[in-house]
Amino acid sequence: MLTNAASVRPLVWTDYRLALLITVFIPLTLLIWSWVKKSEAIGALMTIYWRVASLLVITVYLMIPGWSVGFATALLAKLLIPLSIWFWADLNEEIREQPKRSLNLGFNAWRWAISAYCLASGIFQLFFISCAFSVEFLASESCQALLEPPLVFKDIIHGDLTPGFLGFWGIVGLVIYAAYLGYFLIVRLGRQGRSALNQ
């Protein structure tokens, strides 16, 4: 059972290492590759991916000061990311019609890999969703273990900046993200449906 820091910590660090590979390094490579190969469909889908996946960065900044909302946004990101890369009917059709070259094959392999990762990581995070809603759970060793990688990130990247200051910018990012998501769901989705190119 995932009840103490000793059993949770290795899984947390494995999750963060996989996240760096699957949600940062590979998609950045695919985005640049799509520009080089002038693949508009893959480039457009990767741009959409980065907009949606910015919630993961916001989550890290919310977790640095140990704010419980970060546990909820982490789970939400794992739901929105797969949706964002499979949702668009026009881009999916264009990508299917492209020749089966290395970029297309690499993109499709990554799309399945990140979907599987988000499912597995989301299930793992469901065990800790109580950390988002209960101060008692948030203070537990297992919840605190999930906050260790963001704190290491803070020490490496932001040095002497205070957790509260970084958390404030996480909240600002979350408000902007929520505004854009709300605009998309209420306005743009009704206008364009599942077409990403007719905006």
Q: Structural domain boundaries of the chain?
A: 5-192
Tell me: pLDDT of 1 over 50: no
Question: Rounded to whole angstroms, what are the CA distances from 115 to 46, 87, 147?
Answer: 14, 12, 24
So what's the pLDDT on residue 26?
97
Q: Which secondary-structure segment (H or E) carries 29?
A: helix 26-36
Could you report the per-residue pLDDT of 76-133, keeping only the tens digit for each? 999 999 999 999 988 989 888 887 789 999 999 999 999 999 999 999 999 888 888 8
Three-state DSSP state, 90 = helix
Q: Considering only 13-22, 138-147, 160-169, 181-190, which range has the smallest mean pLDDT?
A: 138-147
Average pLDDT, the chain: 91
User: Stretch 145-166: mean pLDDT, rounded?
Assistant: 93
Percentage of residues of the chain with pLDDT beyond 70: 96
